[in-house]
Structures are given as C-alpha cells and as structure tokens.
Amino acid sequence: MIVEEREATEPDTPAVPVLPARTSPVQARSAARVETLLDAAAAVVDEVGFERLTTAMVAERAGASIGTVYRYFPDRIALLHALSTRLFARYVRTLAERHELRSRSHWQDTLDDIIDVFADMYRTEAGFRAIRFGDTLDITQGEDEESSGGRLAEILATDLADAVPDADRASVVFALEVVVGMIEALLHRAFVASAEGDPRFIDEARTVTREYLIRAINVPA
C-alpha cells in the first residue's frame, strides 16, 4: 500500500508559470522527478484514458509515494494540465525544428509539416492519442484562457503570413484554428484501428485543409 506522506528533505521553491505545481522543479533532481511523474501519467493515460487517471495510479507507475505526487501536483487536474502543456510544447518545438531542417517554397509545405508532426506524435508520444489538441487537451483551462487550438493557430499564422500578406490576421488565425480541428478529427480516425495510422485519412487531412484554406483566406493554390 502506498502511504500518503510529504517529503521534508527538500524546501519549497518559488513557483514558475510553466507547470501548475505546488513546488517548482528548479533543482535538477526535482525537474527529473517531475518528468518521471509526467511520463508515468502519460503511460497511465494511454492505458485507461485521462478520465480514469488518478494520482494513486501515477504514484504507483512512477514508483513514488502519493505524497511525492502531491508535492508537485495538488490534484489530478493539475497533473493532466502539466501533461497537456508538455505535449503542446513538444509539438511546437518539433514543428519548429522541422521548419529549420528543410526549405519550404510553398505554404502547403508548412501544412504538410503540421500534419506530419501531428501524425508522428500519435505514433511516438505517450498520452498524445488521448489528450491531443482539442477539447480533451483543454480540460483544465479557465474561462478566460485561450484554447490550445487557438494558441497553435496563432503560432501557425506567423508561418503563413508571407502567403497571405493582405489578409486580416484574425481571419487567418480563425481559419487555422478550424484547420487544427480538422486535422485532429481526421488523424484521430486514422489512428483508431492502426498504430501507424490509416494513410487514407492522413492524405484526406491534407486535401481538405488545403482546399479549406484556399477558400477561406485565399492562399495561392
């Protein structure tokens, strides 16, 4: 049995806005412990879904006491929020790295990167299938917080600015938020029955999002 306890060996440190945790992972050991807990949470989410995840499950999977979990995350919602934040950050970082590695001559290359990175995370990133970038990812957001899909759309709007220099940015951001929703829905379907993803749905995601953007914000075909 895991007994609830609080560790007294490490003093509390000032909070940082990255993770909604009681204790900020400033020291290397604390940072590593947070990553271990999030890895455990991701594995549990893959197995049982985010709705059934509990702090006790995470503690058991991580080989930690329940007190250790509560030291960094006051409840399961804070834990899920931290996991979704990490997934979002990894997606954005991987997308940026993809952009740097290859020269893009057309806005459709950027769109392909968006879809390819999304599909890669489905295949390789624990927890991503259950949380993704839609409503499930935003389970912990407040009424005044922008959705993850909206935040991603803001980032992508900068990438596509050269393709539509005369377009209203708000319209571009809205169109891209719709695109994110389309990609999420079609790729979720692609990975329902296949660990590698049904290529028909992945290809269709490329087709429908391209056609939508051409119509919605007049990007050049």
130 plus 160 within the same structural domain: yes
For residue range 149-187, list pLDDT tens digits in order.
Answer: 888 888 888 878 777 888 888 999 999 999 999 999 999
Mean pLDDT value of segment 190-201: 92
Percentage above 90 pLDDT, the chain:
53
60 plus 93 within the same structural domain: no
93 plus 22 within the same structural domain: no
pLDDT band at 210 (very low <50, low <70, confident <90, very high): very high
Query: By residue range, what is the domain housing residue 41?
Result: 1-74
Give the CATH number, domain containing residue 68. Answer: 1.10.10.60
Boundary residue ending a domain (74, 100, 129) = 74
- Which 3-state string (H, E, C) describes the chain? CCCCCCCCCCCCCCCCCCCCCCCCCCCHHHHHHHHHHHHHHHHHHHHHCCCCCCHHHHHHHHCCCHHHHHHHCCCHHHHHHHHHHHHHHHHHHHHHHHHHHCCCCCHHHHHHHHHHHHHHHHHHCCCHHHHCCCHHHHCCCCCCCCCHHHHHHHHHHHHCCCCCCCCCHHHHHHHHHHHHHHHHHHHHHHCCCCCCCCHHHHHHHHHHHHHHHHHHHCCCC
Give the model's pLDDT for residue 134: 53
110 plus 209 within the same structural domain: yes
22 plus 61 within the same structural domain: yes
Give the model's pLDDT for residue 167: 84
For residue range 114-153, list pLDDT tens digits in order.
Answer: 999 999 999 999 999 888 765 454 554 554 566 778 888 8
Range among 18-32, 121-135, 191-205 with highest mean pLDDT value: 191-205
Residue 81 lies in a domain: no
pLDDT at 48 over 60: yes
Give the model's pLDDT for residue 18: 47
Least confident piece of the model among 17-21, 70-74, 110-114:
17-21
Counted domains in the chain: 2
Boundary residue ending a domain (74, 109, 126) = 74
95 plus 202 within the same structural domain: yes
Boundary residue ending a domain (74, 108, 127) = 74
Give the CATH number, domain containing residue 171. Answer: 1.10.357.10
Give the model's pLDDT for residue 165: 82
91 plus 190 within the same structural domain: yes
